[in-house]
Chains A and B, each alone.
Chain A
Amino acid sequence: MTEHLLQVENLRVHFKTYGGEVQAVRGVTFHVDRGETLAVVGESGCGKSVTAQAIMGLIPNPPGRIVDGQIRFDGQDITRLSKKELLSLRGTEIGMVFQDPMTALNPTMKVGTQIVEGFVRTHHVSKEEARKKAMEMLRLVGIPDPEKRVDQYPHEFSGGMRQRVVIAIALANNPKLVIADEPTTALDVTIQAQILDLLKELQEKQQLSIVMITHDLGVVAEIAHRAVVMYAGIVVETGKVEDIFKSPKHPYTWGLMRSMPRIDGEEKERLVPIDGSPPDLFHPPKGCPFAARCQFAMDICEQQMPEVTVFENAHQAACWLHDPRAPKLDELVAAGRQT
């Protein structure tokens, strides 16, 4: 059996604030294989971005702190690396793509210089070689006219083009893993389509692994092989994308899917919202964090954190409904769909 490229094990991240300690990530476990795209889905505050920051060693300490858990990347535990070791890991082995390409780029630096900044640091190449590399990267991410573009500044690029530059920076050192935190959220839908296509194409060309943080289930279906659904700092469901969309196992995942209108739907159906709002992570509930909003909640759900049930194809869900002692799920679902 080959080892996963990235293995996150029982990760816990807390942040100290004036209001107390926020338990942003509360025991998250998942893995990413080589050449695979994993989507981490969830709503704001579910801990998906904090998880991504932890993988990149970017949790600011203080106020943040990795309380527990391991992040094994290519055999080594990232949580134990020194600052210097992390620095050499980032930008060489792990590339990053952020949400807002305007703030991710340095406005006072030519894009060419930004693209090869990390490359020059590790490869000690001449100026000419660096410039050539920058143009090669621009070409790779589909920016026309690289000879001219390489000497321009970020403000001379449109939003979509800037995001291509950010992707070029992430890929300059030929990383094994790219972490993309909502890379298309700030972009218009026609530009989003361009960027998703580019990521897919690059992944195949370069045998990349991608961790895609997103709140958009459409993007998940479009690009990911597997997905992790997070809610209130825990993983509620994980599995192959086809399995999650075809037969979601957690009520939160059901809720998410039913609260979105379908563009390809035939007729108008009333949306089914998830009532209420996510719990306060200063004082997270003892049991399942979704229990208060779940229409199938039982007594046990409020008392005790559910255990993980494993289905076919390593599809997993953390929900008491899958416990053998729970009432038959099919009946509950049938009843729920009618209401």
Chain B
Amino acid sequence: MRDTLIEVTGLKKHFEIGNGIQLKAVDGVTFTINRGETLGLVGESGCGKSTLGRTMIRLYDRTDGEVLFKGKNVHQLKGKDSAQFNRDVQMIFQDPQASLNPRMTVLDIIAEGLDIHGFPRKDRADRVKELLELVGLSKQHASRFPHEFSGGQRQRIGIARALAVEPEFIIADEPISALDVSIQAQVVNLLEDLQQDKGLTYLFIAHDLSMVKHISTKIGVMYLGKMVEMADSFELYAKPLHPYTQALLSSIPIPDPTIKRERIILQGDLPSPANAPSGCVFRTRCPKATAQCAEQVPEWMEAAPNHWVACHLYR
């Protein structure tokens, strides 16, 4: 039996954007993440994947629905439980340049969480050295400032900071998008090693579908605030069910000139999330849309074991 770490049910996050218009950034998303697993979230810009991650760990207040972390509703935690939750979940950001304070030394950056959560001051420097070595940097780096590092090294500092308070769950929001190809692999390998050693659970948000497939055990595909499909990673790439997933996968350029594929090129652009289409949100670009798709919101259902999809084709 797989051990559930996080249970998200009907989670919604709507933003008020003036004139009484609601931007439904995340609109009723349901899934679970098991301990030790990596859930990859993919989708185009503006589909709500980052908002989902941030709402799950309370960086945003939810509009509706609930998130259970180890069985407790995270949006209702108070006092000690709340502080413990903040330790248990950590985040790694996309741009290591912007997410590290340029005026702080690496030591202070990494130890900030330790200080907040009341780790003994005297062990501070040792703990930071240990963390630096863990992420493949050396202890001499502790006294330097972020600008003295390359992009890949800065991302390692961000990872060390996230690990400092011994979290169980890490949200990595586009952690490698700002890095060069040859450096991306270094960081991904590091994340994988750390997961094995420490039994970490990841939510890996990215738009690079090849990398997501590589790192994830399970993948969720989002479109305009909705989860449209979720399955184990190889299953999803081998048998995509939702027409959007199929189009998304077929549009990835494969680095092999001998492969000639039938590509599904989606017409048009992503509609505005402030004015999403009725019924199925994908219907305006869907090559298989029918009249029903405009009227009825497709149900989130298990089309095959552990393979969830929201599409009228599979009813």
Hey, which bits of chain A sit against chain B, CB under 8 A? 43-44, 158-161, 188-194, 196-197, 215-222, 241-242, 245-246, 255-257, 259-264, 267-268, 270-275, 277
Contact = CB atoms under 8 A, between A and B. Distances in A.
A277 B183 contact: yes
Given A242-B257, A263-B249, A274 B182 contact: yes
Most chain A C-beta atoms within 10 Å of own C-beta, residue among B44, B182, B183: B182
A190 B248 contact: yes
Given A188-B45, A188-B270, A222 B253 contact: yes
B62 to A, nearest CB: 26
B194 interface: no
A191 B184 CA distance: 23
B252 A259 contact: no
Contact of B213 (A192, A221, A261): A261
12 contacts: A43-B181, A190-B248, A191-B44, A191-B269, A215-B181, A221-B257, A256-B182, A259-B182, A259-B185, A263-B252, A268-B214, A273-B185
A155 to B, nearest CB: 13
B257 A197 contact: no
Given A242-B257, A271-B189, A194 B182 contact: no
Interface string B229-251: 00000100100000000011111
Contact of B253 (A44, A221, A271): A221
A256 B181 contact: yes
A324 B254 CA distance: 34
A240 to B, nearest CB: 9
Interface stretch (B1-9, B26-34, B204-212): B204-212
Contacts of A242: 257-258
Contacts of A272: 185
Contact of B258 (A196, A215, A246): A246
Contacts of B83: none
A218 B251 contact: no
Given A188-B44, A189-B209, A191-B269, A259 B181 contact: yes
Contact of B265 (A197, A219, A220): A197
Interface in B97-152: 150, 152
A296 B254 CA distance: 28
Contact of A263 (B186, B188, B192, B237): B237
A261 B256 contact: no
Contact of A196 (B213, B214, B253): B253
Contact of B257 (A188, A245, A263, A275): A245
Chain B interface size range: 35 or more
A263 B213 contact: yes
A190 B44 CA distance: 8
B277 to A, nearest CB: 15
Contact of A218 (B188, B254, B265): B254
A44 B184 CA distance: 13
A189 B248 contact: yes
B259 interface: yes
A2 B258 CA distance: 29
Contact of A193 (B181, B258, B263): B263
A216 B180 CA distance: 10
B18 interface: no
A273 B189 contact: yes
A17 B39 CA distance: 44
A218 B189 contact: no
Interface in B246-294: 247-259, 263, 265-266, 269-270
A267 B248 CA distance: 20
The 5 closest A-B pairs by CB, nearest first: A218-B253, A261-B214, A273-B185, A193-B251, A259-B185
A270 B254 CA distance: 18
A140 B136 CA distance: 52
Most buried by B among A217, A221, A256, A261: A261
A184 B59 CA distance: 32
Nearest to A223: B253
A65 B210 CA distance: 39
Contact of A190 (B183, B211, B251, B259): B251
A272 B181 CA distance: 11
A158 B213 contact: no
Contacts of A246: 258
A246 B128 CA distance: 45
Contacts of B247: 190
B188 A277 contact: no
A191 to B, nearest CB: 7
Nearest to B187: A273
Contact of A188 (B184, B207, B210, B249): B207
A219 B188 CA distance: 22
A245 B185 contact: no
Contacts of B183: 273, 277
Given A255-B182, A262-B254, 5 more contacts: A216-B253, A218-B254, A221-B256, A259-B185, A264-B259
Interface string B190-216: 001000000000000001011101100
Given A194-B265, A271-B214, A218 B150 contact: no
B209 A271 contact: no
Contacts of A218: 210, 252-255
A271 B258 contact: no
Given A158-B269, A188-B207, A215-B181, A221 B254 contact: yes
A176 B288 CA distance: 40
Contacts of B209: 189, 263
Contacts of A159: 269
Nearest to A219: B253
Contacts of A273: 182-186, 189
A337 to B, nearest CB: 16
